[in-house]
A and B are shown apart, each in its own frame.
Chain A
Amino acid sequence: MINKAGRNIPDEFLVNGVEAFQGQYYSHHKEYTKASPTVRAFVDPGQDKVVPSLQEVIKKSGLQDGMTVSFHHHFRDGDYIVNMVVETIAAMGIKDITICASSLGDAHDPIVKHIASGVITGISTSGIRGSIGEAVSKGLLKKVAFIRSHGGRVRAIETGDIHIDVAFIGAPTSDAYGNARGKGGKSDCGVLSYSMVDAKYADKVVVITDCLVDFPNFPPSIEQVDVDFVVVVDEIGNPKKIANAMLRFTEDPRELIIAEAAAQVLVHTPYFKDGFSFQTGGGGPSLAVTRFLRPYMEKQGIKMGFALGGITKPMLDLLNDGLIRTIVDAQDFDLPSIASVNSHPSHFEISISQYANPFNKGAFVNQLDFGILAALEIDTDFNVNVVTGSDDGILRGAPGGHVDIAAGAKCAILVAPLLRTRIPTICEKVTTITTPGESVDIVVTEVGIAINPKRQDLLEALQKVKLSLPLRTIEELKEEAYALAGVPEKIQFEDKVVALVEYRDGTIIDVVRKVK
């Protein structure tokens, strides 16, 4: 059937309660009973949780063919955990495993051979890139993959849509009883937000660390009461790729033009007042917005009530200069942020449920005033694609928190260049919808700013202001992109569906088909 975003969802997937996307707030007040894990009591104080090897711990966990394992992505491109565990699983002859990852990236290319061989037959993830993305797009994964937002993953776990048999939680430090933290080791990542739901809902929880510390490793991000086993390995990841020494503001003049205009737009909306809340990621243009925001805040005596992220040093600078009151943190990108979280009195670690889960009683995204987001493609209905390549339709991206932030924020601002080389960012119809147009309020490119016609209030507020870039319709932006690059052909796909793009509430917003 054609869903509310205008995409055709094959009926074969709309079974067992799965619905097609019906609108961003369709599931408001939906009632459900939470799923729960089958837990094994650890009563005998004389017993030990530490297991000498990955192979042993997998045996002890009772992992069998057809089960589901889970991972977080706090180690980003420096992660060794996924590859290590999958190699060991394969070597043990276990197969037909589903991976429930918060995200997968280029660092995980080595598991492609296990997809081809049938060790891994299912994937649920936000990010899906590199060889894994290609493999899935080419139809090599046996089962249809699930692309979920960060909030949507938590929802899926808590409702029982996905059941984790064994969670593997990489931790920079852990004590022998399983209290795990993102700090104090050789490859710190700051927080362990993505794996908090895994620890609470998986049947078996395995903490993998390269730095065993004294008991109790407090305050723990992952608690001993949820952990079955602890394994010590040589290296959980590459510290240089886990955390940047320091993320710098972009110097690219085009990105600066976009960021400056986005900041201008932001400060002229009615939501820019003392106590406003703000979210930004680690990417070039979105981070640069904070730099341009600062003078306005200083001049008008406006402080940020809270910042949500994705935290980097520029945000810490604002915190330390008294311009932000509180930072709530689900991911640290650089060493200063890692040092600051849980030690600065106003910088707090939160779980991904608290961050973006649509099915709890109110996540942080619902309290957001502004979200600055990127995009691979935006169409004339303001729908956004962040998951498939616009030039070849191959899975290569991640909804991440994009969908969640756009749904929750009062003003969702997309920043993107008009073209990337010859490829138009603004187009007629996006290849794949991850974020529906109704969630997107403003689009800022280096040639102009488009406001979603649904936001007449924002249009009126911004028409009165002299901005550094002109206000234009989204169609005009598309026309300008096509005038320079030419009108693109449509990418050809086969009929076979290789991945479902699940909206944060579990409905299906789009499908990804096999590339030709």
Chain B
Amino acid sequence: MLLKKNAIAGTLESSDVQITIEPSHEGIELFISSSVMNLYGKQIKATVLHTLERLGVESARVTVVDKGAVDCTIKARVECAVFRAAEIKENLPWGVRM
């Protein structure tokens, strides 16, 4: 997956997560802040990394500002940010890489 520009997805509302993606060449750099860091920090990190891996993103600066989103929401926002960064608008790989 080739990332072409910076992109942001999600909101700062309760139960949501805002994901900002910037293309880079230094592997995955993750910056996570969360209202439930103590309880779910590890899981948030795992979900974000797993989603990026499935999409074939090898390099990016990813900022995660979490307000208590559940896993499927985190996955959805990461996917959205990635596709926006890659400027892919249709024919998404539903069920294949998602």
Name A's B-contacting residues (CB within 8 A): 390-393, 421-423, 484-486, 488-489, 491-492
Contact = CB atoms under 8 A, between A and B. Distances in A.
B38 interface: yes
B69 interface: yes
A421 B15 contact: yes
Contacts of A423: 36, 39, 68
Interface string B8-19: 000000110000
B43 A486 contact: yes
12 contacts: A390-B39, A391-B35, A392-B38, A393-B38, A421-B15, A421-B35, A422-B40, A423-B36, A486-B43, A486-B70, A491-B38, A492-B38
B15 A422 contact: yes
A393 B38 CA distance: 9
Interface string B65-90: 00111110000000000000000000
B36 A421 contact: yes
B48 to A, nearest CB: 13
A486 B66 CA distance: 15
Contacts of B27: none
A390 B67 CA distance: 15
A391 B38 contact: yes
Interface of B: 14-15, 35-36, 38-43, 67-71
A491 B70 CA distance: 19
Nearest to A421: B68
A423 B14 CA distance: 12
* Chain A interface helix/strand/loop/mixed: loop
Contacts of B68: 421-423
A421 B39 contact: no
Contacts of B38: 391-393, 489, 491-492
Contacts of B41: 489
A423 B67 CA distance: 11
A484 B39 contact: no
Contacts of A489: 38-43
Interface centre among A392, A422, A491 (most CB of B within 10 A): A422
B10 to A, nearest CB: 14
Given A391-B39, A421-B15, A421-B68, 4 more contacts: A391-B35, A391-B36, A422-B39, A486-B43
A491 B37 CA distance: 10
B71 A486 contact: yes
A485 B71 CA distance: 7
A43 B67 CA distance: 64
A484 B42 contact: no
Contacts of A393: 38
A148 B16 CA distance: 37
